């Protein structure tokens, strides 16, 4: 039996993705990454895209041009499919993380202006970074993609990244979900229990802006933030590659391009 197991394992070969030392894993054709907006084509329409957006991530200026907030975007592709001028499309670019909230807003001009690097975090925790994961009202999708990073294919432990069982053993907090009123106290208490210096990473539209619940009075994320956010990783949910890329850029393990 042992021989058969070893034989099967040998035939499987190396399973962990080589990224970032090698090419990233192949993404599905349906993957929706960085939105691209063609401003010259985005005018003189009745705002179909903004009307369809379920999270009100699209805003139009006086000239009719749109700006898309990736912090609210669900990457559902409805706007791109409905646009009669093909002014909006979602590319395969998976590098979406940004340190500043405003850098998640793209209008076809500042699409490449995002920076995820935190020099202090890179200096202190570039080789070992423990995160306490808190799901504050999440649906389970972002939680699944955060958890999958610990599996054989991704193996974030090879970068010195791991999830701590207690906030007192953590260097930062990884926040998921829209933070409803009933979870606000728990999130704040967890943050306070993490020894300083500490950093907070918001994963997913809900944690960044409230997502579908952004305007709900019970929602804290984005509207009534109770803890500071140092890194925003957008998506609904973000792909594991997007999360991993954001974490590595935050810690200076991948240079900003």
Do residues 180 and 149 touch, judged by C-beta distance below 8 A? no
Whether residue 240 is predicted with pLDDT greater than 90 in this model: the reply is: yes
Residue 235 lies in a domain: yes
Residue 47 lies in a domain: no
Whether residue 48 is predicted with pLDDT greater than 90 in this model: the reply is: no
- How much is the average pLDDT of 145-152? 95
Other CB atoms within a 10 A radius of the CB of residue 99 amount to 18
Range of 145's domain?
116-250
Cα–Cα distance list, 48 to 45, 64, 78 (Å) = 7, 11, 10
Residue 43 lies in a domain: no
- How much is the average pLDDT of 115-120? 94
Cα–Cα distance list, 28 to 5, 18, 32, 200, 239 (Å) = 31, 18, 9, 29, 11
- Band of residue 225 on the pLDDT scale cut at 50, 70, 90: confident
Q: Is 110 left (phi over 0), alpha (psi -120 to 50) or beta?
A: alpha
- Best-predicted range by mean pLDDT (57-61, 78-82, 155-159): 155-159
Residue 64 lies in a domain: no
Cα–Cα distance list, 127 to 97, 161, 162, 241, 242 (Å) = 20, 8, 11, 19, 20
Least confident among 44-48, 117-121, 204-208, 240-244: 44-48
Residue 205 lies in a domain: yes
- Band of residue 104 on the pLDDT scale cut at 50, 70, 90: very high
Q: Does the pTM exceed 0.75?
A: yes
Instruction: Give the total number of structural domains in the chain.
Output: 1
Residue 70 lies in a domain: no
Whether residue 158 is predicted with pLDDT greater than 80 in this model: the reply is: yes
- How much is the average pLDDT of 249-256? 89
Residue 197 lies in a domain: yes
Tell me: the pLDDT tens digits for 18-37? Answer: 999 999 999 999 999 999 98
**For residues 135 and 178, what is the distance between their CA atoms, to the nearest angstrom?**
9
Report the CATH number that the domain containing residue 200 is assigned in CATH.
Answer: 3.40.50.12280
Q: What is the rounded (10 degree) CA torsion for 67, 203, 214, 91?
A: 30
- Best-predicted range by mean pLDDT (6-15, 56-65, 163-172): 163-172
- Band of residue 109 on the pLDDT scale cut at 50, 70, 90: low
Residue 189 lies in a domain: yes
**For residues 247 and 131, what is the distance between their CA atoms, to the nearest angstrom?**
11
Least confident among 68-72, 80-84, 106-110, 157-161: 106-110
Do residues 16 and 152 touch, judged by C-beta distance below 8 A? yes
């Amino acid at each position: 039996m042992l021989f058969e197991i070893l034989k099967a394992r040998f035939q499987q070969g190396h399973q962990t993705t080589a990224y970032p030392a090698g090419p990233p894993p192949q993404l599905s054709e349906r993957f929706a990454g960085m939105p691209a907006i063609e401003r010259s084509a985005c005018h003189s329409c009745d705002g179909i895209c903004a009307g369809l957006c379920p999270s009100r991530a699209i805003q139009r200026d006086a000239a009719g041009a749109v700006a898309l907030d990736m912090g609210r975007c669900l990457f559902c592709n409805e706007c791109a499919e409905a646009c009669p001028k093909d002014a909006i499309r979602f590319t395969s670019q998976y590098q979406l993380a940004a340190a500043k909230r405003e850098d998640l807003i793209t209008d076809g001009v500042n699409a490449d202006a995002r920076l995820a690097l935190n020099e202090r975090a890179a200096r202190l925790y570039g080789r070992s970074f423990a995160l306490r994961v808190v799901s504050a009202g999440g649906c389970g999708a972002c939680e699944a993609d955060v958890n999958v990073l610990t599996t054989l294919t991704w193996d974030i432990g090879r970068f010195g990244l791991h999830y701590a069982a207690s906030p007192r053993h953590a260097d930062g907090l990884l926040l998921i979900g829209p933070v409803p009123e009933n979870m606000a106290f728990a999130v704040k208490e967890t943050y306070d229990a993490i020894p300083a210096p500490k950093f907070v990473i918001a994963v997913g539209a809900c944690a960044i802006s409230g997502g579908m619940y952004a305007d709900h009075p019970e929602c804290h994320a984005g509207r009534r933030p109770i803890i500071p956010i140092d890194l925003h990783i957008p998506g609904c949910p973000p792909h594991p590659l997007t999360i991993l890329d954001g974490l590595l850029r935050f810690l200076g393990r991948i240079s900003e391009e």
